Chains A and B, each alone.
Chain A
Amino acid sequence: MNSVIPIIPIAATSPIDIQSLVQPDRVHKRVYTDPAIFELEMDRVFGQAWLYVGHESQVPKPGDYFTTRLGREPVVMVRHTDGQVHVMFNRCPHKGAKLVPDGSGSAGKFLRCLYHGWTFKCDGSLLSVPLRSGYECTALDLKDPQYGVRKVARVATHRGFVFASLSEDGPELKEFLGGVATSLDNFCDRAPEGEVEVAGGVQRVIQRNNWKIFFENLHDTIHAVATHESSWRAAKEEHEAMPAGTPKPFEVVIVDGNGEPLEFWEKLELKGYDHGHGFMEGIFVPPTDPVSLAYVASLEAAKGAEQADAILRVNRHNTIVYPSCSPHTSFQQIRVIRPLSVDRTLVEIFSFRLKGAPEATFQRTLKYTNIVNSPSSNVMPDDLEAYNRVQEGLGSDGGDWVSMHRAAGRDQPLPGGRASNGNSEMPSRNMFAAWAGYMGVDTGAQTGSAE
């Protein structure tokens, strides 16, 4: 007979001993399933780390704004009349209404609250309030900065990529990025004019899983051949059905690569850096189709053959900038990861145009975005299914620990980080070492670097 007394999960009632949940090579399932731990992450991980906000090109003119979330916080990136980009809480200091509607647009010369018409300069400072005389001889001093829009604690940019931290303390952005700053540099260096701009719309995907599951997957090479069998087989069959000798179309190359055997991935190098970041050496051989060749020619014309070659030799697959985004340098996209709840994650995919490159280069970027990462991608549904089954499985009593043992203890030290072979779970251990640091504990994982 079913009991009528509700069973309260222990996780919901007991104090959280984070230290007991993380070990050098495994983590307790609660880090993925406990809503109380999610709230702590919002405070400690997302409340401290530098988080990707957006790119300066999303607010090209004074008054342009773009809204997003940093952890739990709704924020708005605005370009001030002096050209400076500010990031502030999207909240009117008067009654608390969100100042601008979610999305992007132009606020004009100033930000005006819809509720009572308080207006602010685009740097957030208070410009005017209706019935100013009503505040005379009251405790509310309109000159007090607290009646301006509150800014996030710190804002910094790297090559036009805007980051913010909700904490006054912590490393500078450059120090935080460490070894993955080179991915952002290469992202821009690939443009003949050395600059990129966001274009072509934003794809948004909802995942039914904890945000960390997605991050771990970004450098999980050995899932590809198993999870993606349906799409890599479909792509291979498509090519086999073409007349013999037909070169593999781009659409096939970017999908059937997941069918490479484990030995292929083993040879790739994974790099992990302090603060949880890292990148994977490129899995795609630089393509030689006419679009790619025209692009290379445009880069060579701008920078000279030698420099162009050096730029293109930096051939990386996903980069992880923990815990907020994943740039793809060779296909010019950034996936922004926004945790919504312990088991819901929003991924926003921004495509970038390489300034000075032929138009067809950007069209190829969009093709990659459409085929591999859009909600209708043929590749991603099997990822989403796997993440969701992991999330549901972790909610069961069928086990307590999640393994990260593969190739543990074999990392090679690097300046500011560590390297491993392509099939190692070093990236997951590296991310959890950073996670534990933010959460105030220590996994005891091998994190020694060669600095």
Chain B
Amino acid sequence: MNFRDWNEQQDLTQFLHHEARLLDEHRWDEWQKLFTPDGLYWVPLAHGQVDHLNHASLFCEDTLLRSMRARRLEQARAYSQQPPTRTVHVLGNIALEARDEVGCTVRSTFLLLEWRKTEQRTFGGSVLHTLRRADDGWRIQTKRIDLVNCDAPHEALQVFL
């Protein structure tokens, strides 16, 4: 499925860029408000994973768990955030997957540079945003991130990808 027109493409592209920027700038509160009340932030553990309830995930977070993570990152004694993680997202290949009366599904790819303490890590993969239309813009129903190396051994993943 293609974007209807340039305006629709711009609208959704800008939304994704805005979301990524909120994460890179640690604006966790604003980022959380992008989700619907029952929205899911999901990073599968397995390639092609279909189920987030009966299979372990790298992240499987509802409103409560997203909020708990954001609160932890900002605690004075979050020792694993001394110094804090820095990230930059680079998005690409933004494409419309589906559209219906309540919203749409957008697929994109991303590269994420992450720096903390002594090491730069690189993550990459594809993202599926299931979006719902609200009065003042888009809300995220599901953000699913399929990392290329989802099933690798990882060191701590602290910030939202």
Q: A366-B54, A366-B55 are in contact. Are A346 and B153 (CB under 8 A)?
A: yes
Indicate if the CB atoms of B60 and A378 lie closer than 8 Å: no
Q: Which residues of B contact A204 (CB under 8 A)?
A: 151-154
User: In the complex, how many angstroms separate the beta carbon of B38 from the nearest chain A beta carbon?
Assistant: 15
- Cβ proximity bits A331-352 to B, threshold 8 Å, 1 near / 0 not: 0000000000000001001010
B68 close to A (CB within 8 Å): yes
Indicate if the CB atoms of A384 and B156 lie closer than 8 Å: yes
In this complex, the member of B43, B65, B81 whose beta carbon has the largest number of chain A beta carbons within 10 angstroms is B65
Which among A238, A351, A375 is the interface contact of B67 at CB below 8 angstroms?
Answer: A238
In this complex, the member of A234, A235, A238, A377 whose beta carbon has the largest number of chain B beta carbons within 10 angstroms is A234
Q: Which residues of B contact A381 (CB under 8 A)?
A: 80, 156, 158
Indicate if the CB atoms of B75 and A234 lie closer than 8 Å: yes
Indicate if the CB atoms of A237 and B56 lie closer than 8 Å: no
Indicate if the CB atoms of B156 and A380 lie closer than 8 Å: yes
B134 close to A (CB within 8 Å): no
In this complex, the member of A204, A371, A382 whose beta carbon has the largest number of chain B beta carbons within 10 angstroms is A382
User: In the complex, how many angstroms separate the beta carbon of A417 from the nearest chain B beta carbon?
Assistant: 33
Number of A-B contacts (CB under 8 A): 114
User: In the complex, how many angstroms separate the beta carbon of A239 from the nearest chain B beta carbon?
Assistant: 10
Q: Which residues of B contact A227 (CB under 8 A)?
A: 79
A255 close to B (CB within 8 Å): yes
Indicate if the CB atoms of A382 and B58 lie closer than 8 Å: no
Indicate if the CB atoms of A230 and B72 lie closer than 8 Å: yes
Indicate if the CB atoms of B54 and A371 lie closer than 8 Å: no
Q: A201-B45, A230-B75, A231-B72 are in contact. Are A370 and B154 (CB under 8 A)?
A: no
A385 close to B (CB within 8 Å): yes
Indicate if the CB atoms of A386 and B79 lie closer than 8 Å: yes
CB contacts under 8 Å to A, within B125-161, are 151-158
| Bound-state Cα–Cα, A108 to B156, Å | 37
Indicate if the CB atoms of A375 and B154 lie closer than 8 Å: yes
Using a CB–CB cutoff of 8 Å, the interface residues on chain A facing chain B are: 199-208, 227, 229-231, 233-235, 237-238, 241, 249, 251-252, 255, 346, 349, 351, 359, 362-363, 366, 369-371, 374-378, 380-382, 384-386
Q: What would be 27 A-B contacts, judged by CB atoms less than 8 Å apart?
A: A200-B54, A200-B56, A201-B45, A201-B151, A203-B45, A205-B153, A205-B154, A206-B153, A229-B75, A229-B77, A230-B81, A234-B75, A238-B64, A251-B64, A252-B68, A359-B54, A363-B53, A363-B54, A366-B53, A366-B57, A369-B56, A370-B56, A375-B157, A377-B156, A381-B156, A384-B80, A385-B156
